[in-house]
Amino acid sequence: MTNKTLHPFKIADRQVGPGFPAMIVGEVAQAHDGSLGTAHAFIDAIADAGADAVKFQTHIAAAESSVLEPFRVKFSFQDATRYDYWKRMEFTTEGWAGLAEHARKRGLIFLSSPFSEEAVDLLDKIGMPAWKVASGEVGNPLLLERIAATGKPVLLSSGMSSIAELDGVVAQIQGRKLPLLVFQCTSRYPSMPEDVGLNMLDFFRQRYATPVGLSDHSGKIYPGLAAATLGAEMIEVHVTLSRQAFGPDVPASLTPDELRQLVEGVRYIQRAQAHPMQKEENASAMREMRGLFGKSLVAKRDLLSGRTLQREDLTARKPGTGIPAAQIDDFLGRNLRRDIAANTFLSPDDFEDKA
Spell out the domains of the chain, with CATH numbers in brackets.
14-273 (3.20.20.70), 281-350 (3.90.1210.10)
Signed CA dihedral, 135, 139, 143, 146: sign only: positive
pLDDT digits (tens, 9 = 90+) for 223-266: 999 999 999 999 999 999 999 998 888 999 999 999 999 999 99
| pLDDT surpassing 70 at residue 139 | yes
pLDDT-based confidence at 1, cuts 50/70/90?
very low
Residue 239 makes CB contacts below 8 A (sequence gap 6+) with 26, 27, 28, 31, 42, 45, 46, 253, 254, 255, 256, 259
| pLDDT surpassing 80 at residue 277 | no
pLDDT at residue 66 in the model = 87
Looking at the DSSP bridge assignments, the partners of residue 260 are none
Report whether 184 contacts 195 (CB < 8 A). Answer: no
pLDDT at residue 287 in the model = 66
The bridge status of strand 234-239 relative to strand 154-157 is unpaired
pLDDT-based confidence at 2, cuts 50/70/90?
very low
Comparing 288 with 154, the larger pLDDT belongs to 154
Mean predicted confidence (pLDDT) in 93-103: 98
Predicted structure pTM score: 0.84
pLDDT-based confidence at 3, cuts 50/70/90?
very low
Cα–Cα distances in angstroms (integers) from residue 85 to residues 39, 98, 117, 339, in the given order: 16, 22, 19, 93
The closest of 81, 92, 80, 110 to 36, measured between CA atoms, is 92
Q: 29 in helix, strand or coil?
A: strand
Q: 147 in helix, strand or coil?
A: helix
Mean predicted confidence (pLDDT) in 94-104: 98
